[in-house]
Amino acid sequence: MAQERLAAHMIRDILRLHIGEGLPLRTAARACGVAASTAAEYCRRARARGLGWPLPAELDDGALGRALYGEEKPSVDPLRPPLDFDTIHLELRRKSVTLQLLWQEYRASNPEGYSYSQYCDLYRQWKRTLNVCMRQEHKAGAKLFVDYAGETMRYVDEKTGQSCEGQLFVAAQGASSYTYAEVTATQQLPEWISAHVHAYEYFGGIAQLTVSDCLRSAVKTPCRYEPEINRTYLEMGQHYGTVLLPARPAKPRDKAKVEAAVQVAERWILAVLRHRTLFGLGEVNRAVRELLERLNHRPMRRTGKSRAQLFEEIDRPALKPLPAAPYEYAEFGRATVNIDYHVAVDWNFYSVPYALVGQVVTVRRTLGTVEILHHTQRVAAHPRFRTGRGQYATIAEHRPKSHQKHLEWTPGRLIEWAGHTGPACGDLVRRILEERPHPESGYRSCLGIMRLAKQYGAQRMEAACRRALALGTCSYHSIKSILAHHLDSAPLPDADALIPAAGPRNDTVRGSHYYQ
């Protein structure tokens, strides 16, 4: 009826004006823009149900309409074949499938069946009986949901023999509920990324969206509207061509599919393994994989099909293909380019173009490489030093032209030049080159000493080198100071005077025998 479709607030106004304020029915109807007969029908129905004015506070517009006219329900014709709502609901998950297409297929096999409007109304009425989480519609290949379970998996560490608690990672396809699970040692970033890589390989394809929780490994700064995704996690998503979509904070229904999958995995995997003693994550995940296959091939009550069957029918054809190579784990950091056009990474040093001195750059570290990026552009790449500290990786093109000329000087050539000046000068240059952690810094000192030799002459340079060797101050600045203050002509200090006087014996001081 037309009056049943009028806005409920119109009904409320008629009751307020006529019953509440006592206006004549025609006047109230004219003020609300409805026919007097319609206004009379409102009031008659309200009185029949014991409603006056003011209306009860808990009676909102929707409840008022239902109270007066009841809830309109599409009629089911017992002479017509019943509709298979589970199949309709399942088919709608497929890409590009609509209710109109399903109705046309239905009428092709049932010419005397329901009309399109009745077909849609009956399906929507059935759909309202589902719970909120089940009413979410997931198209084929659209979303993959990932999360960690609240319960942990206890196992024994193979090396230490100590009991450990592993974290159960769960991933579920949106349309088919096809599930992947594995146990990781922690929920830290390396394990989080590794679990995703394994899940994508297990499914054999990539969904358009990957929906995750807001744990620290996924989201650096949680936000309802613009969460800041971890840089490594974001790069992994770009590598696989999937959009990372963290759920809203404190909104578990945003990822209701994986919440249900976690509950199922806890019941059919963790609970089954609760009495087994497993050694190491390898044995744990072999046991998990065995139970996972059993879980995915078990028929579900609502559809009568297993998750594996639904995945092959619905999700797999819609998934994007895997990339040629799996994602290689990388960590990101920031560093400032030092004055020597190198950046420090794990106590080793890697060169960048000298024009970036003083600039802040992004460092990307993988297991075997170090990449330096400036404004998202890669400016340098080096093999990563796996061991040691204080090592330098320098590319010749990164040096200024003046520094590149230094490469013409080798340690042998520098020592040979110093030997022509005198034996003391040769010994000093050799010691400088041996003691410096980076040869290039030693070259600079030696070239500075060469310039001093041209300025002050070979004789004074040899005397200054003898004095520096005697004092143990082998550096460019020491030689420069000796020559500037004419200390090269002063007598050398007595060797005994350079040895500090022995103090009282202290048994806590290590002797030379300690280092033998």
* Domain coverage including residue 104: 85-127
Q: Which of 243, 262, 85 is nearest to 177 (CA)?
A: 262
> Cis ω on the peptide bond leading into residue 54 (within 30° of 0)?
yes
Using one digit for the tens of pLDDT, what is the confidence trace for 196-213?
A: 999 999 999 999 999 998
Does 271 reside within a domain? yes
Q: Which amino acid is at 274?
A: R
Residue with tokens 């030093």: 385
**Is there a contact between 153 and 161 (Cβ–Cβ < 8 Å)?**
no
Specify whether 118 is located in the same domain as 190.
no
pLDDT, position 132: 43
pLDDT, position 440: 60
Name the pTM for this structure. Answer: 0.56
**Is there a contact between 332 and 236 (Cβ–Cβ < 8 Å)?**
no
Specify whether 177 is located in the same domain as 231.
yes
Is residue 506 pLDDT above 90, yes or no?
no
Using one digit for the tens of pLDDT, what is the confidence trace for 34-43?
A: 888 888 888 8
Specify whether 195 is located in the same domain as 114.
no
Does 442 reside within a domain? yes
Residue 131 structure tokens: 């719970």
Is residue 498 pLDDT above 80, yes or no?
no
Q: Which of 100-104, 373-377, 459-463 shows the lowest per-residue confidence on average (mean pLDDT)? A: 100-104
pLDDT, position 6: 47
Does 325 reside within a domain? no
Tell me which DSSP letter residue 216 carries: T
Does 348 reside within a domain? yes
Specify whether 263 is located in the same domain as 165.
yes
Specify whether 187 is located in the same domain as 240.
yes
Specify whether 195 is located in the same domain as 311.
yes
- Most distant pair of Cα atoms in the chain: their distance: 128
Using one digit for the tens of pLDDT, what is the confidence trace for 314-370?
A: 889 999 999 999 999 999 999 999 877 899 999 899 999 988 988 999 999 998 899
User: At a CB cut-off of 8 Å and minimum separation 6, what does 363 contact?
Assistant: 332, 333, 334, 335, 343, 345, 370, 371, 372, 373
Which of 318, 340, 367 is where one domain is finished? 318
Strand extents, DSSP E, 225-327: 228-229, 243-246
Reported as a pLDDT band with limits 50, 70 and 90, residue 75 is low
Does 504 reside within a domain? no
Which of 404, 438, 458 is where one domain is finished? 404
Domain with residue 179: its CATH number is 3.30.420.10
Specify whether 396 is located in the same domain as 413.
no
Using one digit for the tens of pLDDT, what is the confidence trace for 137-170?
A: 678 888 899 999 989 999 999 888 899 999 999 9
Polymer length in residues for the chain: 516
Element (DSSP H or E) covering residue 116: helix 116-127
Specify whether 345 is located in the same domain as 415.
no
**CA gap 492, 499 in Å, rounded:** 14
Does 244 reside within a domain? yes
Distances (CA, A) of 156 to 43, 151, 166: 75, 17, 10
Specify whether 257 is located in the same domain as 383.
no
Give the mean pLDDT of the chain. Answer: 82
Q: How many domains does the chain have?
A: 5
Which of left, alpha, beta for 363 (phi over 0: left; psi -120 to 50: alpha)?
beta
Distances (CA, A) of 415 to 136, 365, 464, 472: 78, 38, 17, 19
**Is there a contact between 174 and 257 (Cβ–Cβ < 8 Å)?**
yes
Does 509 reside within a domain? no
Q: Which of 183, 170, 198 is nearest to 276 (CA)?
A: 183
Specify whether 148 is located in the same domain as 28.
no
Specify whether 180 is located in the same domain as 306.
yes
pLDDT, position 383: 93
Does 415 reside within a domain? yes
pLDDT, position 369: 93
Specify whether 398 is located in the same domain as 414.
no
Which of 318, 346, 371 is where one domain is finished? 318
Select the more confidently predicted residue: 266 or 340: 266
**CA gap 368, 314 in Å, rounded:** 40
**Is there a contact between 68 and 15 (Cβ–Cβ < 8 Å)?**
no
Distances (CA, A) of 52 to 5, 7, 14, 25, 495: 22, 19, 11, 15, 116
